[in-house]
Amino acid sequence: MGKLGGKVAIITGGARGMGAAHVRRFVEEGAKVVITDILVEEGQALANEFGDNATFIKHDVTKAADWETVVAEAEKAFGPVNILVNNAGISMNKGLLDITEEDYRRIVDINQVSVFLGMKTVVPSMQKAEGGSIVNISSINGLVGGAIGYTDTKFAVRGMSKAAALQLAPTGIRVNSVHPGVIETPMISQGDSKDAIQEFAKFIPNRRIAKPEEVTNVVLFLASDESSYCVGAEFVVDGGITAQ
């Protein structure tokens, strides 16, 4: 039995990128995984790889009703939820004078409000399981400045994680945040950003961009019982960027 044997996990934004890396490793480690995303074709294809060990649910993380459905379906398929990985998110590279109110509210809804909704909705299920682990994916821009909107929401995820951790720790539910740096995912390889990212990599102390699996290793640790005394903490996976 692996590190997550007998556990039930929900991973948002799980159809590709870091989310898909988390899904694959969690199944390998014995978890039953509920993959959620708006990318139906990719999400369903990934779930199909794992047979009875995973299921896919189309999920708009900004909607409370969708969250209720996801948790209910997870319990129906596998039982009470032990692990939630709030991985879904978007980036938006616009300046303060260029970003619109609509843009801003969209990124807040997807990156920030969704984390609040996910935690609020999953806790009763974790209480049935008599404990659990919530892993909220923030960013190094939840520690240092970056693009407007994106930075704001990632700082918020860090703060929410601490507030929820203090409230939930006495109930056996742990909450922590993970802060990736530059990770090789579709988000950074689209359009004109690829060349800029490769140039930026020269200034990372490790001199390279991380693989998604390197973040997964940390997420797995926090999801597992090995991190039983980790509560309300930040785990940075950035090759040394924020140490400079």
Q: Which residues belong to the active site?
A: 150
C-alpha pair distances (Å), 159 with each of 62, 66, 104, 119, 175: 19, 24, 19, 13, 11
Neighbour tally for 172: CB within 10 Å: 14
- Cβ contacts of residue 227 below 8 Å, gap of 6+? 133, 174, 176, 221
Q: DSSP for 194-237?
A: HHHHHHHHTTSTTSSPBPHHHHHHHHHHHHSGGGTT--S-EEEE
Q: What share of the chain is helix, strand, coil (3-state, %, to 5)?
A: 50, 15, 35
Bridge partner list, 9: 33, 83
Instruction: Provide the 3-class DSSP secondary structure of residue 51.
Output: helix
CA 53/CA 78 separation, integer angstroms? 9
- The pair of structure tokens assigned to 175 is 């909450």
Q: Is the dihedral of CA 174, 175, 181, 187 positive or negative?
A: positive
CA 110/CA 87 separation, integer angstroms? 10
